[in-house]
Amino acid sequence: MKEFDLIKRFFAEQPVQRKDVHLGIGDDCALVSSGEHHHIAITTDTLVAGVHFFADAEPRAIGHKSLAVSLSDLAAMGAEPSWISLAITLPSVDENWVSEFCAGLFELAEYFNVQLIGGDTTSGPLSITVTAQGLLPANKGLSRGGAAVGDWLYVTGELGDAALALKMLQQEALVVPEHQEVLLAKLHYPKPRVLAGQILKEYASAAIDLSDGLMGDLAHLCQASQVGANIVLDDLPLSAELLANVGADTARELALTGGDDYELLFTVSEDNKVGMETALSNAGVKFTCIGQLNKSMKLTTTLYSNVVQVNAKGFEHFSSD
Protein backbone atom coordinates (compact mmCIF):
# COMPACT_ATOMS: atom_id res chain seq x y z
CA MET A 1 0.00 0.00 0.00
CA LYS A 2 2.76 2.44 0.99
CA GLU A 3 4.65 1.56 -2.17
CA PHE A 4 1.68 2.51 -4.29
CA ASP A 5 1.34 5.77 -2.42
CA LEU A 6 4.93 6.44 -3.42
CA ILE A 7 4.07 5.79 -7.04
CA LYS A 8 1.14 8.19 -6.83
CA ARG A 9 3.60 10.91 -5.94
CA PHE A 10 5.19 10.56 -9.38
CA PHE A 11 1.84 11.23 -11.00
CA ALA A 12 1.21 14.22 -8.76
CA GLU A 13 4.32 15.86 -10.19
CA GLN A 14 2.81 16.32 -13.61
CA PRO A 15 3.83 19.49 -15.44
CA VAL A 16 0.56 20.96 -16.75
CA GLN A 17 -1.87 23.07 -14.72
CA ARG A 18 -4.86 24.17 -16.78
CA LYS A 19 -7.23 26.96 -15.78
CA ASP A 20 -10.27 24.88 -16.70
CA VAL A 21 -9.40 22.23 -14.08
CA HIS A 22 -11.12 23.19 -10.83
CA LEU A 23 -10.16 20.06 -8.95
CA GLY A 24 -7.39 17.74 -10.11
CA ILE A 25 -5.83 14.59 -8.69
CA GLY A 26 -6.60 13.71 -5.08
CA ASP A 27 -10.35 13.83 -4.53
CA ASP A 28 -13.01 11.30 -5.47
CA CYS A 29 -13.50 12.96 -8.83
CA ALA A 30 -11.87 15.69 -10.85
CA LEU A 31 -13.86 18.78 -11.78
CA VAL A 32 -13.36 20.52 -15.12
CA SER A 33 -15.29 23.01 -17.17
CA SER A 34 -15.57 23.01 -20.94
CA GLY A 35 -16.86 26.55 -21.45
CA GLU A 36 -19.94 27.38 -23.43
CA HIS A 37 -20.53 26.20 -26.97
CA HIS A 38 -18.10 23.33 -26.72
CA HIS A 39 -18.52 19.61 -26.99
CA ILE A 40 -16.18 17.28 -25.13
CA ALA A 41 -14.59 14.47 -27.16
CA ILE A 42 -13.76 11.41 -25.00
CA THR A 43 -11.71 8.36 -25.94
CA THR A 44 -10.23 5.39 -24.04
CA ASP A 45 -7.42 3.05 -25.06
CA THR A 46 -5.82 0.17 -23.18
CA LEU A 47 -2.30 -1.04 -23.89
CA VAL A 48 -1.43 -4.48 -22.51
CA ALA A 49 2.10 -5.81 -22.13
CA GLY A 50 2.75 -8.65 -24.55
CA VAL A 51 -0.21 -7.62 -26.71
CA HIS A 52 0.32 -3.97 -27.62
CA PHE A 53 3.93 -3.60 -26.59
CA PHE A 54 6.82 -5.81 -25.53
CA ALA A 55 6.88 -6.13 -21.74
CA ASP A 56 10.58 -5.21 -21.71
CA ALA A 57 10.11 -2.12 -23.93
CA GLU A 58 11.59 1.13 -22.66
CA PRO A 59 9.19 2.53 -20.06
CA ARG A 60 9.69 6.02 -21.50
CA ALA A 61 8.38 4.80 -24.85
CA ILE A 62 5.43 3.04 -23.19
CA GLY A 63 4.55 6.27 -21.39
CA HIS A 64 4.73 8.25 -24.62
CA LYS A 65 2.75 5.78 -26.69
CA SER A 66 -0.01 5.17 -24.15
CA LEU A 67 -0.87 8.87 -24.37
CA ALA A 68 -0.08 9.28 -28.08
CA VAL A 69 -2.64 6.69 -29.20
CA SER A 70 -5.43 8.49 -27.33
CA LEU A 71 -4.36 11.92 -28.57
CA SER A 72 -4.39 10.49 -32.09
CA ASP A 73 -8.09 9.64 -31.64
CA LEU A 74 -8.78 13.19 -30.46
CA ALA A 75 -6.84 14.52 -33.46
CA ALA A 76 -9.04 12.48 -35.81
CA MET A 77 -12.12 14.29 -34.46
CA GLY A 78 -10.48 17.72 -34.66
CA ALA A 79 -10.53 18.07 -30.87
CA GLU A 80 -8.06 20.06 -28.80
CA PRO A 81 -6.62 17.71 -26.13
CA SER A 82 -7.36 18.90 -22.60
CA TRP A 83 -7.46 16.31 -19.83
CA ILE A 84 -6.46 12.71 -19.26
CA SER A 85 -6.98 10.09 -16.61
CA LEU A 86 -4.72 7.09 -16.28
CA ALA A 87 -5.36 3.61 -14.90
CA ILE A 88 -2.12 1.69 -14.56
CA THR A 89 -1.65 -1.89 -13.42
CA LEU A 90 1.87 -2.82 -12.37
CA PRO A 91 3.29 -6.27 -11.59
CA SER A 92 5.63 -4.72 -9.01
CA VAL A 93 6.66 -1.32 -7.83
CA ASP A 94 9.80 -0.33 -9.67
CA GLU A 95 10.49 3.34 -9.02
CA ASN A 96 12.87 3.70 -11.95
CA TRP A 97 10.33 2.19 -14.31
CA VAL A 98 7.55 4.49 -13.13
CA SER A 99 9.81 7.51 -13.22
CA GLU A 100 10.75 6.81 -16.85
CA PHE A 101 7.16 6.00 -17.78
CA CYS A 102 6.06 9.35 -16.35
CA ALA A 103 8.86 11.16 -18.18
CA GLY A 104 7.59 9.82 -21.52
CA LEU A 105 3.95 10.48 -20.68
CA PHE A 106 4.45 13.96 -19.28
CA GLU A 107 6.77 15.15 -22.03
CA LEU A 108 3.99 14.58 -24.54
CA ALA A 109 1.32 15.90 -22.16
CA GLU A 110 3.27 19.12 -21.70
CA TYR A 111 3.74 19.54 -25.44
CA PHE A 112 -0.02 19.42 -25.99
CA ASN A 113 -0.98 21.19 -22.74
CA VAL A 114 -2.86 18.17 -21.42
CA GLN A 115 -3.42 17.81 -17.68
CA LEU A 116 -3.58 14.50 -15.83
CA ILE A 117 -6.67 14.88 -13.62
CA GLY A 118 -7.00 11.47 -12.03
CA GLY A 119 -6.62 7.74 -12.28
CA ASP A 120 -6.00 4.55 -10.46
CA THR A 121 -3.03 2.35 -9.60
CA THR A 122 -3.41 -1.38 -9.06
CA SER A 123 -1.26 -4.47 -8.80
CA GLY A 124 -1.32 -7.11 -11.54
CA PRO A 125 -0.04 -7.81 -15.07
CA LEU A 126 1.32 -4.65 -16.74
CA SER A 127 -1.45 -2.72 -18.46
CA ILE A 128 -2.13 0.96 -19.10
CA THR A 129 -5.48 2.60 -19.82
CA VAL A 130 -5.68 6.25 -20.77
CA THR A 131 -8.92 8.17 -21.12
CA ALA A 132 -8.32 11.42 -22.97
CA GLN A 133 -10.75 14.28 -23.33
CA GLY A 134 -10.63 17.18 -25.72
CA LEU A 135 -12.60 20.28 -26.59
CA LEU A 136 -14.45 20.92 -29.81
CA PRO A 137 -16.46 23.94 -30.87
CA ALA A 138 -20.05 22.67 -30.88
CA ASN A 139 -20.98 20.93 -34.14
CA LYS A 140 -17.51 21.44 -35.63
CA GLY A 141 -16.11 17.97 -35.09
CA LEU A 142 -14.97 15.49 -37.69
CA SER A 143 -16.32 11.97 -37.87
CA ARG A 144 -15.93 8.91 -40.07
CA GLY A 145 -19.39 9.37 -41.51
CA GLY A 146 -19.25 12.66 -43.43
CA ALA A 147 -17.51 11.63 -46.65
CA ALA A 148 -19.29 11.76 -50.01
CA VAL A 149 -18.77 10.18 -53.43
CA GLY A 150 -16.21 12.26 -55.35
CA ASP A 151 -14.34 13.48 -52.26
CA TRP A 152 -10.56 13.20 -52.39
CA LEU A 153 -8.72 10.87 -50.04
CA TYR A 154 -5.61 12.04 -48.17
CA VAL A 155 -3.18 10.92 -45.49
CA THR A 156 -0.73 12.88 -43.34
CA GLY A 157 2.92 11.86 -43.04
CA GLU A 158 4.35 8.61 -44.35
CA LEU A 159 3.00 5.09 -43.94
CA GLY A 160 4.50 1.70 -43.16
CA ASP A 161 7.56 2.70 -41.14
CA ALA A 162 6.19 1.48 -37.80
CA ALA A 163 5.18 -1.82 -39.37
CA LEU A 164 8.72 -2.34 -40.65
CA ALA A 165 10.15 -1.49 -37.22
CA LEU A 166 7.88 -4.12 -35.66
CA LYS A 167 8.97 -6.70 -38.23
CA MET A 168 12.57 -5.83 -37.43
CA LEU A 169 11.99 -6.40 -33.69
CA GLN A 170 10.26 -9.69 -34.48
CA GLN A 171 13.24 -10.62 -36.65
CA GLU A 172 11.08 -10.89 -39.74
CA ALA A 173 12.90 -8.12 -41.59
CA LEU A 174 16.43 -6.82 -41.85
CA VAL A 175 17.10 -3.10 -41.56
CA VAL A 176 20.47 -1.51 -42.13
CA PRO A 177 21.90 -0.13 -38.86
CA GLU A 178 21.77 3.53 -39.92
CA HIS A 179 17.98 3.38 -40.42
CA GLN A 180 17.05 1.44 -37.29
CA GLU A 181 16.75 4.38 -34.93
CA VAL A 182 14.55 6.43 -37.24
CA LEU A 183 12.19 3.51 -37.87
CA LEU A 184 12.01 2.45 -34.22
CA ALA A 185 11.12 6.02 -33.27
CA LYS A 186 8.12 5.80 -35.62
CA LEU A 187 6.94 2.69 -33.74
CA HIS A 188 7.71 3.77 -30.19
CA TYR A 189 7.21 7.53 -30.34
CA PRO A 190 4.34 8.21 -32.75
CA LYS A 191 3.43 11.88 -33.13
CA PRO A 192 -0.32 12.39 -32.85
CA ARG A 193 -1.47 14.73 -35.66
CA VAL A 194 -3.27 17.14 -33.38
CA LEU A 195 -2.40 20.27 -35.36
CA ALA A 196 -3.53 18.65 -38.62
CA GLY A 197 -6.84 17.68 -36.97
CA GLN A 198 -7.42 21.23 -35.78
CA ILE A 199 -7.02 22.50 -39.35
CA LEU A 200 -8.95 19.67 -40.95
CA LYS A 201 -12.05 20.26 -38.85
CA GLU A 202 -12.52 23.42 -40.94
CA TYR A 203 -12.11 21.68 -44.31
CA ALA A 204 -12.41 17.89 -44.24
CA SER A 205 -15.62 15.92 -44.74
CA ALA A 206 -14.48 12.89 -42.70
CA ALA A 207 -11.41 11.63 -40.85
CA ILE A 208 -10.07 8.62 -38.95
CA ASP A 209 -6.68 7.97 -37.41
CA LEU A 210 -4.58 5.11 -38.73
CA SER A 211 -4.03 2.66 -35.92
CA ASP A 212 -4.78 -0.71 -37.53
CA GLY A 213 -3.52 -0.14 -41.06
CA LEU A 214 -4.69 2.01 -43.97
CA MET A 215 -6.91 -0.59 -45.65
CA GLY A 216 -8.78 -1.63 -42.53
CA ASP A 217 -9.24 1.91 -41.24
CA LEU A 218 -10.35 3.11 -44.68
CA ALA A 219 -12.95 0.33 -44.70
CA HIS A 220 -14.32 1.75 -41.41
CA LEU A 221 -14.58 5.20 -43.00
CA CYS A 222 -16.23 3.74 -46.10
CA GLN A 223 -18.73 1.87 -43.95
CA ALA A 224 -19.62 4.92 -41.88
CA SER A 225 -19.95 7.14 -44.96
CA GLN A 226 -21.49 4.49 -47.25
CA VAL A 227 -18.95 5.02 -50.02
CA GLY A 228 -16.22 3.06 -51.77
CA ALA A 229 -12.67 4.24 -52.41
CA ASN A 230 -9.78 3.87 -54.80
CA ILE A 231 -6.20 4.11 -53.63
CA VAL A 232 -3.53 4.87 -56.23
CA LEU A 233 -0.60 2.72 -55.20
CA ASP A 234 2.04 4.94 -56.81
CA ASP A 235 0.82 7.84 -54.68
CA LEU A 236 1.28 6.19 -51.28
CA PRO A 237 3.73 8.27 -49.20
CA LEU A 238 6.69 6.01 -48.38
CA SER A 239 9.82 7.05 -46.52
CA ALA A 240 13.30 6.72 -48.00
CA GLU A 241 14.17 4.40 -45.07
CA LEU A 242 11.25 2.08 -45.83
CA LEU A 243 12.01 1.90 -49.54
CA ALA A 244 15.73 1.40 -48.99
CA ASN A 245 15.22 -1.62 -46.72
CA VAL A 246 12.37 -3.58 -48.29
CA GLY A 247 11.86 -2.35 -51.84
CA ALA A 248 8.73 -0.94 -53.46
CA ASP A 249 6.34 -3.90 -53.35
CA THR A 250 6.82 -4.74 -49.68
CA ALA A 251 6.88 -1.04 -48.79
CA ARG A 252 3.45 -0.61 -50.39
CA GLU A 253 2.08 -3.63 -48.67
CA LEU A 254 3.32 -2.39 -45.27
CA ALA A 255 1.81 1.02 -46.02
CA LEU A 256 -1.53 -0.56 -46.92
CA THR A 257 -1.85 -3.11 -44.15
CA GLY A 258 0.71 -2.36 -41.39
CA GLY A 259 -0.58 -0.82 -38.18
CA ASP A 260 0.69 1.78 -35.72
CA ASP A 261 1.09 4.66 -38.20
CA TYR A 262 -1.02 7.10 -36.15
CA GLU A 263 -1.33 9.37 -39.16
CA LEU A 264 -4.70 10.83 -40.16
CA LEU A 265 -6.72 9.54 -43.10
CA PHE A 266 -9.19 12.14 -44.26
CA THR A 267 -11.46 13.17 -47.11
CA VAL A 268 -12.14 16.56 -48.64
CA SER A 269 -14.61 17.78 -51.25
CA GLU A 270 -13.45 19.24 -54.56
CA ASP A 271 -14.63 22.66 -53.32
CA ASN A 272 -12.49 22.55 -50.17
CA LYS A 273 -9.42 20.94 -51.74
CA VAL A 274 -7.36 24.05 -52.46
CA GLY A 275 -8.22 25.75 -49.16
CA MET A 276 -7.33 22.63 -47.21
CA GLU A 277 -4.04 22.09 -49.04
CA THR A 278 -3.06 25.72 -48.50
CA ALA A 279 -3.91 25.64 -44.80
CA LEU A 280 -2.01 22.39 -44.17
CA SER A 281 1.01 23.61 -46.16
CA ASN A 282 1.09 26.89 -44.25
CA ALA A 283 1.12 24.93 -40.99
CA GLY A 284 3.97 22.72 -42.19
CA VAL A 285 1.86 19.54 -42.17
CA LYS A 286 2.98 16.90 -44.65
CA PHE A 287 0.05 15.39 -46.57
CA THR A 288 -0.56 13.32 -49.70
CA CYS A 289 -3.61 12.74 -51.88
CA ILE A 290 -3.81 8.95 -52.32
CA GLY A 291 -7.13 8.45 -54.09
CA GLN A 292 -10.78 9.30 -54.38
CA LEU A 293 -14.13 8.09 -53.09
CA ASN A 294 -16.61 6.40 -55.39
CA LYS A 295 -20.00 4.79 -55.05
CA SER A 296 -18.83 1.23 -55.45
CA MET A 297 -20.42 -0.64 -52.57
CA LYS A 298 -19.57 -4.08 -53.78
CA LEU A 299 -16.08 -5.43 -53.53
CA THR A 300 -15.08 -6.00 -57.12
CA THR A 301 -11.60 -6.33 -58.53
CA THR A 302 -8.69 -6.63 -56.18
CA LEU A 303 -6.14 -4.64 -58.06
CA TYR A 304 -6.48 -3.26 -61.51
CA SER A 305 -3.40 -1.56 -62.88
CA ASN A 306 -2.24 0.67 -60.10
CA VAL A 307 -5.37 0.96 -58.00
CA VAL A 308 -6.74 -0.83 -54.95
CA GLN A 309 -10.47 -0.88 -54.37
CA VAL A 310 -11.76 -0.53 -50.81
CA ASN A 311 -15.30 -0.34 -49.51
CA ALA A 312 -17.40 -0.94 -46.44
CA LYS A 313 -17.21 -4.69 -46.76
CA GLY A 314 -13.45 -4.60 -46.55
CA PHE A 315 -10.65 -4.75 -49.01
CA GLU A 316 -8.39 -7.01 -50.94
CA HIS A 317 -4.81 -6.34 -51.67
CA PHE A 318 -2.22 -7.71 -53.94
CA SER A 319 -0.83 -10.42 -51.70
CA SER A 320 -2.85 -13.61 -51.68
CA ASP A 321 -3.54 -13.94 -47.94
Residues near Mg ion (CB under 5 A): 73, 209
Question: In the complex with Mg ion, which residue's Cβ is closer, 116 or 210?
Answer: 210
Instruction: Please report which helix (H) or strand (E) contains residue 195, including its range.
Output: helix 194-200
| Listed residue (50, 126, 30, 112) closest to 79, CA to CA | 112
Is residue 52 a known part of a binding site?
yes
The annotation status of 85 as a binding-site residue, yes or no, is no
CB of 251 vs Mg ion, minimal distance in Å: 24
Q: Classify 316 as helix, strand or coil.
A: coil
Q: At closest approach, how far in Å is the CB of 210 from Mg ion?
A: 8
- 217 annotated ligand-binding residue: no
For residue 167, the surrounding DSSP H or E stretch is helix 161-169
Contacts with 259 (C-beta within 8 Å, 6 or more apart), sequence order: 162, 163, 210, 211, 212, 213
What is 47-74 written as a DSSP string? EEBTTTB-TTS-HHHHHHHHHHHHHHHH
Whether residue 288 is annotated as binding a ligand: the answer is no
Which residue, 73 or 261, is less far from Mg ion as judged by CB? 73
Q: Judged by CB, which is closer to Mg ion: 47, or 182?
A: 47
In the complex, what is the shortest distance from the CB of residue 211 to Mg ion, in angstroms, rounded to a whole number?
A: 5
Nearest approach in angstroms of CB 208 to Mg ion is 6
| 302 annotated to bind ligand | no
DSSP for residue 126: -
Nearest distance from residue 68's CB to Mg ion, in Å?
A: 12
Minimum distance between the CB of residue 56 and Mg ion, rounded to whole angstroms? 27
Residue with Cβ nearer Mg ion (158 or 261): 261
Residue 124's alpha-carbon distances to 2, 61, 81, 92, 131, in angstroms, are 16, 20, 29, 8, 20
Known binding residue 321? Answer is no
| Spatial separation of the C-alpha atoms in residues 197 and 166, rounded to whole Å | 26
Q: Which is nearer to Mg ion, 208 or 229 (CB)?
A: 208
Q: Which is nearer to Mg ion, 102 or 312 (CB)?
A: 312
20 annotated ligand-binding residue: no
Beta-bridge mates of residue 155 = 265, 288
Residue ranges of the binding site for substrate: 52, 260, 315
Residue ranges of the binding site: 28, 43-45, 52, 73, 119-120, 144, 209, 211-212, 260, 315
Residue ranges of the binding site for ATP: 119-120, 144, 211
